[in-house]
Amino acid sequence: MSKPTTTGSAPTAFTPREMMAIAAGRFIADGDIVFAGTGVALLAAGCAKRVQAPGAVIFFETGGIDPTLDEIPLAVADSRVMDGACINAGIIEAFSYVSNPRLHTIAFLGAAQIDRYGNLNSTCIGDYHHPTVRFSGSGGACDAGSLAAGFIVFMEHSPRKFVEKLDYLTTPGWLEGGESRRAAGFARGGPIAVVTDLCVLRFDETTKEMYLAERYPGVSDDDVVANTGFALDVSRAVEALPPTAEELRILRDEVDPQRLILG
């Protein structure tokens, strides 16, 4: 399935990656504590902080809390996560913030596979004991998915990644849907949205099944369905607001001027 590489015309033409960063950033509210990974997550957090959530705090599982992000970290252990930080914690302390019930901690996560309930695989393809492809593993993803007040997932949209059944369940989403997450022993949390290069997906209040919420300008329902490996409800879909000129300026000139992540 072909996908658009850029949409619109100058000066508000944008790439899918730019749209992803801006769409995901819009989920962040002032006062949120944002558990950021690297990559697009950092762009999203950087945009949110400069657009609608100046009081949001970005922090890293390694323990760097509220750094300037004058330069983009290329790993969560990069010294740039400490630049001007209010505190340098250790890993255990960092997760004490993720799980603190006083804090509205939102995590940004990526994965190799996702299922209809927003459960994630970042461990392997094939049998766990004899994988055909091995990935990095959980890192802090399972912890953030278990303990944070909610999480937002970045995915490249393809049928190989949106699958009926995960090869390995690394990070708990809505598990089997309905009330199953709470029944498993999680007091809170769960996936809020999935942001892809085509659209934004959300989860039904009751069934916790994924549905198409917003398709990006230039993307059709069929494009999304063809790139999703399970049946998807598109009846509630609307077109996403395209990035504004100001959002694009902030992203390009302030958040990632070297285009280390934007490419």
Partner 1 sequence: MSEPEQIGGKLMSLERAVRTFVKRGDQVALGGFTISRNPMALVYEIARQSIGDLHLVAHSNGQALDVLVGAGCVRRIEIAYGGNGRFAPTCVRFRKAVERGAVVVEDYSNYQMALRFLAGALNVPFMPTKSGLHTDLVRLDGFSPELRRVAALPAKKLVVLPDPFDGEEGDVVLLPALKPDVALMHAQQVGDDGTVRIKGLTFADIEQAKAAKAVVVTCEQVVPAADLRRDPDQNALPPFLIDAVVPLPFAAHPTACHLFYDYDPQHLNEYRAAARDDGAYESWLREWVYSVADHDEYLAKVGDERLQRIKADPVRGYAVGLDRR
Q: Which of 105, 113, 170, 196 is the binder for partner 1 (CB under 8 A)? A: 170
Q: Which of 16, 46, 118, 140 is the binder for partner 1 (CB under 8 A)? A: 140
Strand pairing category for 199-203 and 210-215: antiparallel
61 is catalytic: yes
Contact region with partner 1 (CB under 8 A), list: 83-91, 202-210, 215-223, 238-246: 83-91
Q: Which of 32, 66, 115, 143 is the binder for partner 1 (CB under 8 A)? A: 143
Q: Which of 128, 226, 236, 241 is the binder for partner 1 (CB under 8 A)? A: 128
Per rule CB under 8 A, is residue 105 in the interface with partner 1? no
* Ranges within 199-258 binding partner 1 (CB under 8 A): 258
Per rule CB under 8 A, is residue 62 in the interface with partner 1? yes
Strand pairing category for 199-203 and 191-196: antiparallel
Which of 18, 61, 209, 247 is the catalytic position? 61
Element housing 245 (H / E): helix 245-249
Distance CA 9, CA 76 (A): 35
Return the axis-axis angle of helices 40-51 and 16-25, rounded to nearest 10°. Answer: 50
Per rule CB under 8 A, is residue 13 in the interface with partner 1? no
Sheet holding 105-110, edge to edge: 87-88, 64-65, 57-59, 33-35, 105-110, 150-155, 191-196, 199-203, 210-215, 238-239
Backbone angles phi, psi at 182, to 5 degrees: -65, -40
Residues that bind partner 1 (CB under 8 A): 38-39, 61-64, 71, 73-83, 88-92, 95, 99, 123-124, 128-143, 146-147, 168-172, 175, 183-187, 258, 260
What are the catalytic residues?
61
